[in-house]
Amino acid sequence: MRIAILGGTGSFGRALAGRLAAGGDDEIVIGSRDAGRAAETAAKLAEEVPDGTFSGFANGEAAERSEVVFLCVPFRNQSETLTNLKEHLREGQLLVDATVPLAAAVSGRATRMIGVWQGSAAQQAAEMVPAGVRVVSALHTVSAAVLRDPAQTPDEDVLVCGDKKADKLRAVEIIERVPGLRCVDCGRLEQSRTTESLTALLIGVNSRYKTHAGIRITGLPEQLWQPPS
């Protein structure tokens, strides 16, 4: 399988790409606005993760080549990126949106959110993708700093939202290859309003406590995802 990481030259996308490559035998396709930078990042990642397979393309081509597409661009670029993706995405693909509408996107504080008309960045994504492309949201609360440091194992949950269980399960099977990340079903895509907001909250917590905090949901059973019967 090929997995695209759009915004894969950014700190979060790049770190996620490295972890996903280390955890499976899929090809990780780095996407960027600039195909050259994408290829460069793919080459560097291949040195860092010798058992991983990487390639690099412009976002559109990266998406086209892949079955699952992680959208890891800054919110400032989310809408433009999705507009440009319209001709590249196709029915049956899964888009995993990780963008967060921090007020920093409009020169406000990173501890505050801006209101997205659709309710959340993920709902905006769902509105903008071509018919038949599935959208879930995840990974908002996972810190790039923890993911990119090979000495650290994350110890936190990934809050996953989406309107179809099967879509969420597809994303979960990929994300849980990263040791230390447990995915929790947080309901429909509209719940992304809350899971996205947690990023702003954690940015405040991080600056207050000089750390890279994450979220855990307590009191859950052992088995969180039932494979389809």
Q: Which two tokens stand for residue 99?
A: 């963008």
Residues 78, 82, 83, 85, CA torsion sign:
positive
Interface pattern 84-123 for a copy of itself (x via CB under 8 A): ---------------------------xxx----------
DSSP SS3 for 143? coil
Q: How far is the CB of 102 from a copy of itself (least distance, A)?
A: 12
For residues 79 and 94, give the distance between their C-alpha atoms in angstroms, rounded to a whole number.
17
Nearer to a copy of itself, 90 or 216 (CB): 216
User: Reading across the β-sheet that carries 156-162, which strands appear in turn?
Assistant: 53-58, 27-32, 2-6, 68-71, 94-97, 134-137, 156-162, 181-185
Cβ atoms of 1 and 68 within 8 Å: the answer is: yes
Q: Residue 187 interacts with a copy of itself (CB under 8 A)?
A: yes
Residue 215 found at the interface with a copy of itself (CB under 8 A): yes
**Candidate ranges 64-72, 96-104, 169-177, 179-187; the one touching a copy of itself (CB under 8 A):** 179-187
Count of residues that interact with a copy of itself, criterion CB under 8 A = 38
Query: Interface with a copy of itself by CB under 8 A: which residues?
Result: 111-113, 146, 155-156, 159, 184-187, 190-191, 193-195, 197-198, 200-202, 204-205, 208-221, 224
